[in-house]
A and B are shown apart, each in its own frame.
Chain A
Amino acid sequence: MDIDDLLQEFEDKSVPAGTRDINDLTQAWIAERTAPEILPYQNDLLERLMERIRAQIELVETQTGDLDPKTNFSLILIQTELERVKFLVRSYLRARIHKIDKHAIHILTTPTTRGNLSAPELSYLKSHLAILNSHYLSSFLRNFPEQLRRLDDKAGGISMVEEPDLDGAVFCKVVRDVEDRTVKILGTDAEFELKKGDIYVVRYSAVREFVLNGEVELI
């Protein structure tokens, strides 16, 4: 344990819960935007934040009539912060929707990734696929021979289902010490060590499990 660790511990304790939530959201947002696959939905975090957003909106509404310059000033601060958090949540959800649209069939047919969606996202995904399907069908597929009507065909060596490219490169930072430090990159004989504070550009597939359990952060 050196001075950095001590400082780190001190910081962890001194950060209030609200700020930590915002930090977590920022991290989740960054990760969602950089990871090639869809990550687990941060249900609890978002619920807590939405709760607070609603409370702040109410506060702003009740205090608006107040003409005291002091409250007016603090209101502006609150509103600015509110807009920023709303942007984060919006961008986070939109990034997810983008991936859901892109890898729709893959997500739906893979149970593990499917579990990463929230209930509304899942129903969005299903209805979107349904209307897209009926759109294709009514536009031209209904005139096709029976065996060519599928949308998840794998014949001819090309799969119609688009999958996330797990071998895509990501920037990541090791935030916690990892017990089994050496990581092998699949398909190559390259190896590297995960040490706290290190920053790497690697294939997502190599650090995937560490990202999911929070030992490595995407940046």
Chain B
Amino acid sequence: MPIGDLTPEIAIIVAAVLALLFATFAPRRWQARAALIALAGIAVAAVLLVNQIGTTRFTFSGTWALDGASIWARLMILIATAFCILLAPGWFRTDPRHGEYYTILLLSALGAMAMAGAGDLLELVIAVLLSSVTGYTLAAWHRDWALSVEAGMKYFLMGALANALLVTGVTLVLGLLGTSSYGDLSRLFAGGVDASPLLFAGFALIVIGVAFKLGAVPVHAWLPDITEGAPAPAAAFLTVVPKIGAAIALARLVHLIPPEALGLRPLIAVLAAATMTLGNLAALWQDDVRRLIGWSSVAQAGYLLMAITVLGVSPDALTALLTFGASYAIGNLAAFAVVTHLRGRTALADYAGLARRQPIAAAALVLAFLSLVGIPPTVGFLGKLMLFLTTIQGGYLWLAALAAANTAASLFYYAKVMGIMYFAAPPEEVQLLDRPSGVAVWIGMIAVIGGAIMAGTALDVFQLSTLLPL
């Protein structure tokens, strides 16, 4: 067995186990040091992953894809996870046993990485389940707080349904085509497959199962509850990391099927349209900033689906997917870094006049929001640009126009928050979390601007990436 191909994942598992052991035996005041173990594990995994750059092949009998898409996505997952770890020690300071949090976080990241690398439907199921089970735990971490438990519960119920649909879909496809391996499936489709409605249903169910992790319609309702109720560092993680993995998993699935074969792309286009419109409409009247970010994150999933829609139709679709995924991750994490740094402050009214008391945090939130809208010179602009470019190139002009209209509408709620921070009278005193979260705010701000400046290089390397099976 080519164990060497899995070294980054193994490093994560080892770190997760070490963090757990450490948390079990370490005294309470040392619990936060488990974060260092987790960070070290991520660093090792990242180095091992960088060594894989340039590889394009299946490994482990075709169940694990090593290609540009999975490598970049897994690298993004690791970086995003490390960023979320930066937010955690301050947030969980009062939690006596929070060392275990890092174990769960690493295992959840592992689930996301497995989604990005899955080269087989069964592997995909395992990856989604791993990511989900750990996700529920992260969401409900504050077990004494009703909102957190509610978020975890909703996430779990919706997840149970979505996972069941996923497994049903996989069973259908496996039964109809006799294989679950992507390599075999792609060869079958190349040879021509009878496009029966049942087969379409099978794939559609799988799409919905993965859409759950992406936070897309129709299984999106958990997202705003998570952003409101889950611990803010966990919410940052759950709105970004599983989405990256799920985006690649869905892309790989769509990529399997030639555009003319099953009509899966129009389905995804409809999901994209519904997701972005619903997310934005629901966000419009939110007066809770964390729920607002949650709905905006639903809308962003809709934009992301645009790139998947034109996969195989437009040459730059994968580049757009990776670029937009990275830019969304940066924007959303930067926003959550600010929210966490402000100790999870959530009511819109509590943001009034923030710019006078905490100019840096306010500026960082503005930049993060501008990036999510896609206003230059933020990294989000380049993500959106690539997205519009490929969507129009792929012939989905209506989808691009709808996304543009949605973007204009979304400005309403983002600008509302910006307005209240800058135009309203300032509050008495603003409590901040700690130094690492402050550092995270700075990192987020720099990444939002720096990402745009570095975009040339990023686009070049993304453009070289491939998506297996070829």
Q: Do A and B come from one complex?
A: no
